[in-house]
Every structure is written in structure tokens, then in C-alpha cells.
Amino acid sequence: MKTTTKETSQVGRSIPRLEAREKVTGRAEYIHNMRLPGMLYGKIFRSTLAHGRIRSIDVSAAAAVAGVHRVITAEDVKTVIPDPYYGPVFHDQPILAMDKVRHVGEPVAVVLASDPHVAEQAAQLIAADYEELPAVFDEVAATGSPVIVHEVLRPAGMFPDFKDLAGRKNTNLHLDFKLRRGDVETAFAAADHVFEHTFHTRQIMHTPLEPIVSLAESTDSSVTLYTASQMPSVVRMEIARLLAWPENRVRVRTAFLGGGFGAKTYIKVEALVTVCSLLTHLPVKISLTMEEQFYTITKHANTLRLKSGVTKDGRITSRLCEVWWNGGAYADIGPRLTQKSGFTAAGPYDIENVHIDSYAVYTNLPPAAGLRGFGIPTLTWAYESHTDLIARALNIDPLEFRRRNLLREGRPQATGTIMKDAAIDAVLERLAERMDWHAPFDRGSGVIRRGRGIAIGFKASISNTTSVAIVNACGDGSCSVYCNTVDMGQGSDTALAQIAAEALNIPAETIKVIHADTDVTPYDMGTLGSRSTFHMGQAVKLAAEDARDKLLALAAELGLPPETTPIAQIFRKKFGMQAGNVVGIGTFNPKSTQPDHATGLAENITPFWMIGGTGAEVEVDTETGHVRVTRLVNIADVGTPINPGIVDSQLSGAAMMQFGCTMSEGMEFDAGQVTNASLADYKIPGIRDMPDQIINEVVEARQDTGPYGAKGVGETGTFGVSPAITNAIHDAVGVRLTRLPVTPEAVYRALRAANNDALEEE
Amino acid sequence: MMPFEIAEPRSLREAIGLLGRDDPSVRPIAGGTALMLMMKAGVFRPTRLVSLRSIEPAFARTTLGAEGELRIGALASLSSLEHSQAVLNGAPVIAKALRTLSNVRVRNVATVGGHLAHADPHMDLPPVLIALGARVSVLGPSCDRLIPVENLFAGYYETVLARDELIAELIVPPQGGRRAAYLKCTTRSADDWPALGVAVALDTDGTAVHEARIVISAATHKPTRPVAAEAILRDGISDAVLRRAGAAAAEEAGVISDTHGSAAYKRQLVRVYVERAVRAALAIPTGKQRRA
């Protein structure tokens, strides 16, 4: 096929994002802005109790407010969906609370009105009467607590590996992933040194600037959902399952998302708006406020215990990891995270004996799930803090200590999977170079002390997932990509257009990427886990190649020179006018093996590995505990970048998010109530908090199984940020922070404690 | 937010008449940067808002008198002060403090009168204005009065103003050879509300201190002058005196625990920041020395 431009490679170019003009001129479509004629607004009435049995709900005063269309409770929900429990791993979450409330902020009722202010006002008039139950909040205490959040576990069946949990009763421990490699106890006994440390993190909110929003319109036999979702295909399946309808009667549309970060995965308020629309025969929209998001989905709080046996020359011979994930009141995707991230808890090191226990635990807190890294930034923080502490204790340079123990290409990871296309050593070495690690470093001598630290982490891509894409060439030769990958700011439209363009040999800028509409766009597991460039990228590449091959064959059949005839001319010759389509389809489902239930071992645990290393230079004010990060260096293995400019902004964006999780973010609770549930009190970093210098670089690498050598990048920049900073603080002032976030007060208190002059509590 | 009445009087006197003394659901609104947040959060539900936007433009004017007295209309926006030559000449510490006060969007609409009347102890200007010895002129239905800013605040989000009194003007006296500095410390993010604000105004001659005013804010229920610390500074500037003054201020300021930090930690911040603020003031070149 001949193209109108001269031949250039479409991948590997930093083309500007295709949607940039639409976005900066305010024309980009967001569900948040959408209104339909006759639409009702729903306002949720939420539990004020962390754990309680519902005695009664009085909605009469709310229903009597002028302008209120209807008030919905679980009783109404059951008339549409008799078994209204949802969740990707367990069917544990009711659309509206039934029998019990399990966390503060749980939806109990919904007021519907055509004026959102009326709905809000009326929702405040609802009164619920509860029998208060004892509540449990701590993830370690909850494992042995007599307080039970869910009496019986009901696996969802979506993921086959959780079937054996069916019917498990009277425990808050809803998944315990085990990995057993070698014999750690014998190795500890034989080790020259044994080190043990415990770390803690707090619950974090995703903070997409477009809060969670869904809008449903329905007939008696169909429903259309407009939803800011990262997983349109899964939303369709879950809504169809709840309604016991075939999938093709549920249509799910998305638009651009104002950020997702894992908050907009599986279903959130989609089932609720669906039920409300079916009950009222009107379109219903629910837009959460920023405050409500704190009660909807979060990132886990954790306790992590690590223990390592080390030889006197600095070889780690054994590592034990115990990780408790505070899943809150509903499992969401937490158990998958507990398993899928759990098996990397010992870090990117070549350790003969590994023992991992990763526990998903119910508590009476808001539900937790993945947030940009699916648990990896938390694990990396713990194992890279632990690793750094060991190096310091043995008086070995932290870089050298890592080199001695690094997991290298061709060696088995803890699961037994042989490492391939994982540039761990290249990332570490380049990090050392960009940090000028061997150059002299001025640590300061006055009030301000300086230090530096490094850290490296890795992540296995989500496994056994499928992407399907369609490429459609029109009669004039213009091409569209149909896929369910959602552009939530990460630049997937642009990257996928580049991949299709490369295969079709036309400019990426001329390709349109059709946004998810499940009536039109084919299945995709979801836009999460940095999987889209790799999985959807391959599906798009296959679809484009399929379309290209069909066009070439058509040209040949028509007697046209296949390589030089423009697409439009092929169609014109075929149909005698501008007409017709050629449709290519691509399906990608890379195979991997599930970890063995008893040992956690697997031959082929992941389609690809992501590697991220970060170095930090910090200044610590020893009189106040303030930490200024003066330099942050992020080095990544992303395979061969499709769009280097977007890769760079993904790395710095991820690093900035994790910087917030490190320095200032953390939900605070009082009896299960979030006491800082607003952006006035929950502080994401602003531009003046940013490190003075952020450097991003990718190492030369290639993912052989990825599209044009590429792999995912959305989360990689998060991995090493927290430990690099806490390692640098240790380097600067000799104190170790074992809890996140690293507030100035925490640092100052640690300094005083290290000086045997602990600051009084109040 | 439920419907409410909004009045747009043409004069300050008319506005006062529309306020009334007894109804807490009737409030004046100027820039609205604080009030709108309270309304969105459902903390405040008005029946009537009295907008001050259309009153006499004279109440938004800033002038510097020949003697160096600065008169600032209550409706002057914070950004107009930030960029005012009169403010830069009369009390440069105000312009400097404004640069890190909230953000440019807020400064463009927030007014100095609203900033003071809101009485949020985390505001940046009250400690600065108290250190400078500023007063406000207040108009009411029956009598008008002058109140030192130091006496304006009755407590946490509370002023001594009646519901039908409005701040008309802010008067900053001539500063002569005084040097002033304001330092704030945030603990959660750089653009957070301060965990602590420290303003100092010093009249010095070499290491001798004729007058020292220190004001602690944000860490306390209301801006507070640690008078013992001020007295210590009058012993003359030395490292030891600064340390003692910081320690005394931390002891006497009445620091409270809140989401920005524990009282114990914030007492440490007071200790450090009083010292740093005094040093910052002393680092300002003495331009117009009052005494030869």
C-alpha cells in the first residue's frame, strides 16, 4: 500500500498526544460533564458507623422533600437484583447495605431528584437506626479477632484460583498466599547475621481529579452505562451477571478519564445507577464528591515484617516476608493483589531460601485495592529499606550490596520463573551512574544535613488476561482503531495509534482511536497494571497487520501493485466508487502459569517484568525535621519505548504520586471515620513540594514478546521512590523511618529519639 | 446548596442595614473564598448574603500618607496589596507575606477585610499586622470604632465584631526604622495552611533592641504575642538571647495539637522559627533609621 507521506517509523517517535488540542480547549469528552434529558441525580446516604446491624432506615422525611423523586434502599434493590452482591474476587459487597454496615461511609440509601442540591439536602434527613457492633481496624489484630466483618466467604468465580476459599467461615483472613522456596529456618541458623525489621504504611486515596461518576439509562430490556471506568468490558460482564441478562443487553461507554490510578476499576457505582434507572425508568447519574472517594476505594494500609539471613561477605541466603494487607470492609481486588504482588515481596534478589506469607485481611475501614503499582511500591519500600539497613549494618556500600545479590537474567525468581527480558542490572548500574554514586558527596555540617539513597523494585505484569482490537480501513483509506483501552491521561490513544500506524505504514496522526463502547468495541480485560501498551498494543498490532494483509491480498486480486497502491484506490477499483471497509482483528492472550497453591511456585509467572530504580538526594532540617528532596533520579526498563516523550511523563508522573504517598499522604481515622477526608486536610503534593530536579531515563532494552519491543510503563516510576527517600534520610541524619508518610514531625521525633531525648507525645 | 437571597447594596452603610444583629444565617460576602467553601461543605447555610462588591470603590483603595501611614480599604484584594507600591514602601513585609499566601486565584478575589473578619487562626496577615501595630476602623449601625488588630480576635474563628459591624479600613502606622519579617512553616505540603506563623517587628540600634514585637499564629487558637519572649529580646541581640526568646515563646504561646502536628512538635517549631524570624528581620538592610 502506498501512503501519502514518506516512509518514517511511527513507533519510537515522541509525537504530541493526539487529544492535546481537544483537552486544552476544553472540548474533550468526560462523563463528569454529561447530562441526559430527564436525568435524575442520586445522592448517597452513608453509614456513620464502622460496624453495626441495621435495625431500621427511615426515609420518610427525605421522601417528603419537595422535588425528591424517590428514595432507594436495599429493599428496592432486591426487587431488581435478588442477590445484589458484587466484587471481582468475592461477592461480598452489597449495592446498598443489607443487614449490616461494615465501614463508615458505606452506602445505605440513595435520594433521587432532578436537582442535585435537593437530593443532597434530602439525604441529610434520612435516619438509620443501628445496633452497634464492635469493630476491628488493625490488619494484624483483625487476623485473630473475634470481630468478624464477613461471616462467610463467597468466591466470585471470575478468577479460577480462588475457588478453594468457598465457604470459609468466621475469619477476616480472606486470602493467605504462601511462597515456600528452600528452607529459611535452616538458612537463618546457618547465617552469619540475621536481620529483622517491621514497616507500616497508611491507607491512601487515589485522588483522581475527576471523581468516580456513572450515569445509567435503561429500558426494560437494556441498559446503557456512561461511566468513568478503567474496565468497560468487566463493568458490562458484572452488570449483566447481576441482572442475569446476556452481555449484549448491557452497553458500557466511557470517555476520557480525569485520572484513574486503579480507583475506577471493576464496578463502583455502576450497579447502583443501573438499579436506580431500572426502578425509575429515567436516566440516573451519581457523581461522587472528592470527600466521598475516601470512603469508596483506597490503597491498603500495611504491616510488613522482613527477616534476612546474610553471610559475612554480604550474600543474602534467606528471606522471610510477612505482609498484612488491610483490605477494609470489602475485598474488591485486594486478594489478587495479595497474591500477584505478594510473590515479589523478597525483592529483585537472587535468594536461595524464601518464605512469603501475604495476608488479605478484612477490617471495618473503607475498602482497599490497587493504586498505581498494585502493592509493589509498598513492598519495595519495605524490602529496599530492609536491604539498605543490612548493607549499612555490614558496612557494605548499598550499591555494592545490591550488586552482590541482584537477580540476574536467566536466574530463577522466588517463584522459580526464569528471569527474561528484565534489565535489573542495567537499571541499577545506570542509576549508580546518574547518581554519581562514587563521586564525593557533601553531607553538610550545620542545621541542614544532606544524604542520598537508592532503591530498585520490580513487578510482574498481570497474568492470563486478554485484549481484543479491531482496525477498520474506510473507503478513503482513513483508519480507526476500536478498543476498550481507556485513555485516562496516560496517553494510550497516542501510543496505540502509533502501533497501528507502524503496521499500516501510515502517519499515526491520521488514525482515530474509538473510545470504549461495548456495543462496538471488543473485549479487553481493563486499563490497569501497566498492561495496555503490551497487551492491547499487541492486539492492535495484530489487528493492523490483519487489515494490512487483507488489503494487500485485495490489491493483488485486483491486479494492482500491492505495495504501492493507495488504500483508497484499492477500494475504488473493488467497488467502482468510494465504498467498503476492510476490518482487521487481533486477539492477544499471553499464557502464564498460576502459582502452585501449596508452594507459590510457577514456571512462567508473568508475561513480562517491569523494573524501576530510583535515587534520591535529600536535605534534612535537623531542627524541624523538614525534608527537601533536591534530586530524584528514575531509571526504568520499559522495553523499547513506543513514544519516548510520553514514557518520560509517565515515569515522572508516577514518581510524583509515590512522592506524595511518601511525604504527606495518609488517611487518618477516628473510630473508622476518616478525619482528613478532604483535599484541605489530605495533602497531595503541590508543585512547590516537588524535588528540585527530576531525572527520568530508560535503559536500552527490548521485550521480545511486546509490540515492537515495548512493555508497560505506567507504574514503574513508583517502585523505588519511598525507599530511596527514607534511605537518603538515613544517610543524612542516621535515623530510620519505618512508617509512611515521612512527615516533618516523624523525622524530628526520630532524631530526638536517636538522641535519647524523645519528644513528649503532646 | 439551597436557594438563598443575595443583596447587592451600593454603600457600606446600606450593607450594614441589611445585616441585622441577630440572624446568624445572614452574612456579608466579599471575595467569598472562605464562605463559599463553608457553604459547599454544608457548614454554613445562608438565608441571605449581603454582597459587598458594589459598595463605594473608595473602600478598595490603598494609600500611603506623607508620614508613612498606610490606609488600606477593606475591599482591597490581596493581590492588589501584593503589587501595591504604597504597601511596598510602607510595609514591605505585607507584600512579601502575600506571595506565599494561599494561591494567586484566591489572592485575586479574597479581600483584606474578609481575611481579617474570618478569624481563621491560620491566616497569614493577622500576625503580620499585629506585629506592625495595625488597627481596623469598624462601622456599625450606631457607632464606629477603631480596634487594634491585636484585639480583633476573640478566639478560634471568632472576632469581637457584632453581626452588623463591618471592617471599613485597615490602618498601618508609620514603621519608621522598624524591620519586620514573617516566616511560616507548613508541615503537610508547601501550599498547606501554616502549622505556624511567626511575625516579628524590631526597632534596633546595633545589638540594642528598643522595641520588639513577636506574634505567633496558626499553632494557637488566635494570634498571640509572647510578651516574655519580647522582653528577653530587649536584653540585646545575641545567639543566647535568641535561643532564650525562642524557648520562652514556645513556653508561653499556648500551642495546641491539631492535624498539622502535636503541640510538643509545634512548640519546637516556635522555638526554631522565632529565632529564624528575628534573624530574618535583622538581615533586612536598615534603610530609614529613625535614630541617628
Of A707, A686, A708, A711, which is closest to residue A698 (Cα–Cα)? A711
Confidence of residue B286 (pLDDT cuts 50, 70, 90): confident
What's the distance, Cα to Cα, between the start and end of chain A in Å? 75
Q: How far A262 CA lies from chain B's nearest CA (Å)?
A: 24
Note whether A298-462+596-754 and A465-588 share their fold.
Answer: yes
pLDDT, tens only, A111-138: 999 999 999 999 999 999 999 999 999 9
Of A709, A707, A716, A340, which is closest to residue A535 (Cα–Cα)? A707
Q: What is the pLDDT of residue A159?
A: 73
Tell me if B268 and A623 make a contact (CB, 8 A cut-off).
yes
Rounded Cα distance, B81 and B193, in Å: 20
Q: What is the pLDDT of residue A168?
A: 84
Confidence of residue B42 (pLDDT cuts 50, 70, 90): confident
Confidence of residue A476 (pLDDT cuts 50, 70, 90): very high
Give yes or no for A169 touching B (CB within 8 A). no
Give yes or no for A753 touching B (CB within 8 A). no
Q: How far B17 CA lies from chain A's nearest CA (Å)?
A: 30
Inter-chain CB pairs, A–B, below 8 Å: 57
Q: State chain A's mean pLDDT as an integer.
A: 96
Give me the mean pLDDT over the A395-415 stretch.
98
Least confident of A95-99, A229-233, A648-652, B101-105: B101-105
Whose cell is 443501573? That residue is A274
| Optimal mutation site among A118, A659, A745, interface B, most CBs of chain B within 10 A | A745
- Domains of chain A, by residue range, sit at 34-130+210-258+263-294, 298-462+596-754, 465-588
Q: Taking the model in full, what pTM does it have?
A: 0.96
pLDDT, tens only, B4-13: 999 999 999 9
Rounded Cα distance, B282 and B286, in Å: 8
Confidence of residue A4 (pLDDT cuts 50, 70, 90): very low
Tell me if B263 and A683 make a contact (CB, 8 A cut-off).
no
Nearest to A745 among B1, B37, B265 (CB): B265
DSSP A50-92: SSEEEEEEE-HHHHTSTTEEEEEEHHHHHHH-SS-EE-SSBS-
Q: How far A740 CA lies from chain B's nearest CA (Å)?
A: 13
* Minimum CA–CA partner of A666 in chain B: B188
| Optimal mutation site among B265, B271, B275, B279, interface A, most CBs of chain A within 10 A | B265
pLDDT, tens only, A260-270: 999 999 999 99
Nearest to B190 among A675, A680, A686 (CB): A686
Q: What is the pLDDT of residue A412?
A: 98
DSSP state at residue A349: B
A53, β-bridge pairs: A100, A131
Tell me if A680 and B1 make a contact (CB, 8 A cut-off).
no
Nearest to B189 among A668, A689, A760 (CB): A689
The phi, psi pair for B117, rounded to 5°, reads -70, -25
Sheet of strand B179-185, all strands in order from the earlier edge strand to the far edge: B179-185, B196-205, B208-217
Tell me if B268 and A748 make a contact (CB, 8 A cut-off).
yes
Q: What is the pLDDT of residue B292?
A: 31
Rounded Cα distance, B286 and B205, in Å: 10
Give me the mean pLDDT over the A362-375 stretch.
98
Q: Percentage of chain B with pLDDT > 70?
A: 98
Give me the mean pLDDT over the A494-520 stretch.
97
Which helix (H) or strand (E) is A630 found in, with range?
Answer: strand A627-637
Q: What is the pLDDT of residue A1?
A: 57
> Would you say residue B209 has pLDDT above 70?
yes
> Would you say residue B201 has pLDDT above 50?
yes
Rounded Cα distance, A610 and A109, in Å: 42
Q: What is the pLDDT of residue A164?
A: 74
Helix, strand or coil for residue B233? helix
Q: How far B43 CA lies from chain A's nearest CA (Å)?
A: 13
Q: Percentage of chain A with pLDDT > 90?
A: 96
Give yes or no for B1 touching A (CB within 8 A). yes
Rounded Cα distance, A745 and A749, in Å: 6
Rounded Cα distance, A155 and B180, in Å: 66
Q: What is the pLDDT of residue B1?
A: 59
Assess if CATH 3.30.390.50 describes domain A465-588.
no
Give yes or no for B257 touching A (CB within 8 A). yes
> Would you say residue B291 has pLDDT above 60?
no
Q: What is the pLDDT of residue B289?
A: 41
| Optimal mutation site among A683, A684, A747, A760, interface B, most CBs of chain B within 10 A | A683
* Minimum CA–CA partner of B271 in chain A: A623
> Would you say residue A7 has pLDDT above 80?
no
Q: Cβ of A51: how many Cβ atoms within 10 Å?
A: 27
Whether A715 is a known active-site residue: answer yes
Q: What is the pLDDT of residue A355?
A: 98
Give yes or no for A446 touching B (CB within 8 A). no
Q: What is the pLDDT of residue B290?
A: 40
Give me the mean pLDDT over the A604-628 stretch.
98
Cell of A108: 445505605
Q: What is the pLDDT of residue B96?
A: 96
Q: How far B271 CA lies from chain A's nearest CA (Å)?
A: 9
pLDDT, tens only, A165-196: 777 889 999 999 999 999 999 999 999 999 99
The phi, psi pair for A188, rounded to 5°, reads -60, -45
pLDDT, tens only, A241-290: 999 999 999 999 999 999 999 999 999 999 999 999 999 999 999 999 99
* Predicted-complex ipTM score: 0.95
Confidence of residue B249 (pLDDT cuts 50, 70, 90): very high
Rounded Cα distance, A600 and A607, in Å: 17
Q: What is the pLDDT of residue A157?
A: 78
Give yes or no for B262 touching A (CB within 8 A). yes
Taking CB atoms and an 8 Å cutoff, what residues of chain B touch A623? 268, 272
pLDDT, tens only, A462-475: 989 999 999 999 99
Least confident of A358-372, A660-674, B36-50, B54-68: B36-50
- Alpha helices (H) in B119-226, listed in sequence order: 125-131
Homologous superfamily (CATH) of A34-130+210-258+263-294 is Aldehyde oxidase/xanthine dehydrogenase, a/b hammerhead (3.90.1170.50)
- Alpha helices (H) in A178-324, listed in sequence order: 184-190, 232-243, 270-280, 290-293
Helix, strand or coil for residue B120? coil
Q: What is the pLDDT of residue B287?
A: 64
Spelled out in words, what is the top-level CATH class assigned to the domain A298-462+596-754? alpha beta
Confidence of residue A563 (pLDDT cuts 50, 70, 90): confident
Of these residues, A217, A502, A619, A715, which one is catalytic?
A: A715
